[in-house]
Amino acid sequence: MDYRALRERPRQFLALTSLHVAEFDDLLTAFAPAWERHHRWHTLAGKRRQFPAHRERPTAVLAGSDVKLFFLLTYL
């Protein structure tokens, strides 16, 4: 499923996420900084990092906060 392609099809986007694209964008403005703040000091397993993470890895499958939020809303 391609998040960026689904943004262009509002009815399918709504069916998958239960949000309109504008609502998703509003939620993303709160989610992105919260995710960055949490991920900087915690691993995905929830353990505290000894040193802060500086940036997202280039090989990340879910690259970008928008793709992460879309994944959370559709699959979980």
C-alpha span between 2 and 63 (Å, rounded): 12
Overall domain count for the chain: 1
C-alpha span between 58 and 50 (Å, rounded): 21
Which residue reads 């959370």 in tokens?
72
> Could you read off the pLDDT of 2-18 as tens digits, one per residue?
888 999 999 999 999 99
> Could you read off the pLDDT of 52-72 as tens digits, one per residue?
887 778 888 888 899 999 999
- Residue 39's nearest CA partner among 63, 59, 73 is 63
What integer best gives the mean pLDDT of the chain?
90
Q: What domain range is 24 assigned to? A: 3-75
User: Is the whole-model pTM more than 0.85?
Assistant: no
